[in-house]
Amino acid sequence: MSLETTLDQLRQIAESVVRAEAPIIDKEAKWPQNSIKALQQEGFGGFVVPQENGGHGQGLYGLARACEILGEESGSAGLCFGMHCVGTAMIVAKATEHQKKNFLEPIAAGEHLTTLALSEPGTGAHFYYPQTQLLTSSSGGFIVNGEKTFVSNGGYADSYVLSTMGVDPDATQHEFSCVVVEEGMKGIAWGPEWDGLGMRGNSSRSLSLSNVALPEGNLLGAQGDQLWYIFQVVAPYFLTAMSGTYLGIAQAAFDVVREHLKSRVYRHNGVSLDQISLLQHRLGMLWAKIERTRQLIYHATQQYDKGDPAAVLAILSSKAEVANCVVEVVNEAMTLAGGIAYRDNSRLDVLLRDARAAHIMGPTTDILYTWLGRAVLDQPILDS
């Protein structure tokens, strides 16, 4: 099936199930259960799972487009689906036969939801320096101890792809491993329910891990892959899931304000807002801002899918640029739509609150521009 046909099917779910659930997701801070279930039932759980394991085998470009479509209806649904795909891509990257059978095939069958748990309270925006410990267990396998924070899909996923330090009690912060922790394992405990300003359906909760016993088969890749995962898998997929979702939010805000300008007619002179040249000009600027960001995201992800090593910088730029784009577009849309947008629970109210997470979700905008600066100065991206 072509990507466009696949996306048409996804759009049907977005415009029916996700659209219907979106107001409740925000109002009640409800995890997008109906939306995620519908996506899984229609086979989208395996969006980035290789075809030989029963999935769609989509890459970054497909992920950007899918999250954009979902993000137009609900930021939380876009991100929750996106985080599942990021966790899945981490498993796909170096999947063993055991991991294909136990994780990828159930994911493709819509029976297993996963997600990514990188951030920690101790290291915050510097999520690439995990402090969660992974120790060799005397009875085989590993023991995990630590704390994760802001785990989207927290409490609703079947597994959590976690970053940890290397397998050594004396491991330094550059030694990095990835493991899959399964829901229900002894020693995991969830913090309070998520009650965010925006992205209210994300269920981005804290997770504590106390002596969690992990089978050897739940280690992703080889010990010592370390930062390979960050730049080859986490960064491209995580950044793209966010870029697509925030692009969708920007487009949704644009659509609201365009309709408002067309439909608002003054009674005293019969002039509609769309006939006022200053407003035409400002709407044109919003369109250009969104379009150039869209083209950057599409270009970056297509280059990555073609295997171009230079794509990584374009992907880093995409998320920094979309964060600026979405915050500026929704702010400006608020002004152009006048008082009706400023009411509690207006569509733009939700979009404004959702958009604000774009700058602070890691890698944050400031950190991304710093990485880009270091890269173009021929310096290592991460400080030592």
User: Closest separation between CB of residue 287 and ligand FAD, Å?
Assistant: 27
Nearest CA-CA partner of 8 in 94, 95, 69, 99: 69
- Between 54 and 196, name the residue whose CB sits nearer to ligand FAD: 196
Closer to ligand FAD by Cβ: residue 127 or 298? 127
Contacts of 263 (CB under 8 A, 6+ apart): 272
Shortest distance in whole angstroms from residue 131 CB to ligand FAD: 13
The CB-of-359 to ligand FAD minimum distance in angstroms stands at 7
To ligand FAD, the closest distance from the beta carbon of 68 in angstroms equals 18
Tell me the C-alpha distance between 309 and 228, whole Å. Answer: 14
**Interface with ligand FAD (CB under 6 A):** 83, 116-119, 124-125, 127, 150-152, 196, 199, 202, 204, 357, 360-362, 364, 366-367, 370
Please identify, using beta-carbon distances, which residue of 127 and 254 lies nearer to ligand FAD: 127
Q: Closest CB to ligand FAD among 102 and 152?
A: 152
Contacts of 321 (CB under 8 A, 6+ apart): 293, 296
Measured distance CA(263)–CA(20) in Å, rounded: 24
d(CA 121, CA 74): 27
In whole angstroms, the minimum distance from the beta carbon of 89 to ligand FAD comes to: 14
Nearer to ligand FAD, 157 or 257 (CB): 157
Q: Looking at beta carbons only, is 83 or 348 nearer to ligand FAD?
A: 83
Element housing 26 (H / E)? helix 19-27
Q: Which is nearer to ligand FAD, 205 or 260 (CB)?
A: 205
321 is written with which tokens?
């640029």
b/e 180-215 (16+ beta carbons within 10 angstroms → b): bbbeebeebeebeebebebbbbbbbbbbbbeebebb
**Token digits of residue 357:** 């997470």
Transcribe 162-206 into DSSP letters: EEEE-BSTT--TT-EEEEEEETT-TTEEE-SPP--SS-TTS--EE
Min dist CB 334 to ligand FAD, Å, is 20
Q: Which residue is nearest to ligand FAD (CB)?
A: 124
Beta carbon of residue 370, minimum distance to ligand FAD (angstroms, whole number)? 5
